[in-house]
């Protein structure tokens, strides 16, 4: 396998997304009170999440190759740098390794890993082409990354609030991505919200979700769950979310909406950092 082929497979599994999954699960485990003795399980659980996410990216591109030739012709399958069989086996191998690693940790992490693999396959094959259901599944899978991190160390109570935040921001992000990809999705026969009800309705729904999220971020500080450090950092996150709402309405080109999508991904990471800095295990 030459360098270009290795590079193409690297693009297929999207290592940056994998890094976010690794950080998310690791921070979730720390929030849940991970001890030094549980360090190996935390590492193994985070790597398992990366493997399953990487496999999910591969199977997503496998089913999306025709649409990606319109929306994202630079993707490795769309441009012919990776074959369909290569993507199929990448999904099978990485997903299997992730599930096996999760099974070694415990029954709850095993169950979540199976849910991830099944739903990511189902999403890629059909759900992402439906109104809202695909968006909800991806948002749920993302929120479960934090719950998974809690189960790695046997405690989920401390991660329920960040899991809810991750769910909401990713639901909004998925709706923005649908708006970004509306042309290719329509030509490819996908029936997303943006295709069926229009970009304005889809971005309006995303804006409502983000507004609810902004309101929800203040509640834990008011209730005394998190301290002033959390409040300071989360205000910065809320400013980013407000900027994202304004930006998606100012210019609705695919390039502009792609920037909003990246901004929402950054907001999720910063939100988790805010919770990590302002929650009980760190004080």
Separation CA 19–CA 57 (nearest Å): 13
Tens digit of each residue's pLDDT, the chain (283 residues): 677 888 989 999 999 889 989 999 999 999 898 888 999 999 999 999 999 999 999 999 999 888 888 888 889 999 989 999 999 999 999 999 999 999 999 999 999 999 999 999 999 888 877 878 888 998 999 999 999 999 999 999 889 989 999 999 999 999 999 898 888 777 777 788 888 889 999 999 999 999 999 999 999 888 888 888 888 888 999 999 999 999 999 888 888 999 999 999 889 888 888 887 876 544 4
Give the Å distances, CA to CA, from 220 to 37, 60, 158, 266, 279: 30, 36, 12, 21, 10
Q: Which of 56, 205, 247, 27 is nearest to 137 (CA)?
A: 56
Q: Could you tell me what percentage of the chain is helix, strand and coil, using 3-state DSSP and rounding each to the nearest 5?
A: 85, 0, 15
Residue spans per domain, the chain: 1-155, 157-283
Asked if 1-155 and 157-283 have one fold, the answer is no
Tokens in use for 187? 């030509």
Separation CA 59–CA 77 (nearest Å): 11
What's the CATH number for 1-155?
Answer: 1.10.357.140
pLDDT of residue 92: 96
pTM value? 0.88
Angle at 99 between CA 94 and CA 100, to 5 degrees: 100
> Phi and psi for 230 in degrees, rounded to 5?
-55, -45
Fold for the domain defined by 157-283: 1.20.120
pLDDT of residue 1: 61
pLDDT of residue 126: 87
pLDDT of residue 282: 44
Separation CA 259–CA 223 (nearest Å): 34
Q: What is the separation of C-alpha 132 from the centre of its chain, rounded to a whole number of angstroms?
A: 16
């Amino acid at each position: 396998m030459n360098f270009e082929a290795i590079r193409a497979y690297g693009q297929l599994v999207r290592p940056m997304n994998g890094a976010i999954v690794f950080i998310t699960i690791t921070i979730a485990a720390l929030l849940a009170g991970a001890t030094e003795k549980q360090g190996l399980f935390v590492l193994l659980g985070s790597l398992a999440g990366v493997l399953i996410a990487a496999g999910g990216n591969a199977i997503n591109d496998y089913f999306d190759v025709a649409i990606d030739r319109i929306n994202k012709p630079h993707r490795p399958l769309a441009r012919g740098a990776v074959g369909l069989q290569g993507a199929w086996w990448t999904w099978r191998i990485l997903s299997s390794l992730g599930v096996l690693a999760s099974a070694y940790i415990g029954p709850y992490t095993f169950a979540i890993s199976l849910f991830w693999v099944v739903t990511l396959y189902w999403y890629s094959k059909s759900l992402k082409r439906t109104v809202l259901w695909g968006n909800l599944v991806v948002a749920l899978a993302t929120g479960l990354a934090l719950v998974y991190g809690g189960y790695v160390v046997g405690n989920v109570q401390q991660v329920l609030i960040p899991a809810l935040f991750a769910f909401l921001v990713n639901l909004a992000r998925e709706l923005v991505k649908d708006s970004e990809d509306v042309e290719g999705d329509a030509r490819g026969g996908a029936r997303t919200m943006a295709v069926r009800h229009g970009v304005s309705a889809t971005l309006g729904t995303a804006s409502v979700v983000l507004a609810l999220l902004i309101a929800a971020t203040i509640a834990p500080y008011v209730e005394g769950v998190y301290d002033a450090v959390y409040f300071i950092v989360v205000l910065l996150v809320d400013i980013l979310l407000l900027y994202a709402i304004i930006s998606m309405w100012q210019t609705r080109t695919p390039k502009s909406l792609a920037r909003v999508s990246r901004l929402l991904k950054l907001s999720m990471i910063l939100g988790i950092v805010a919770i990590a800095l302002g929650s009980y295990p760190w004080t």
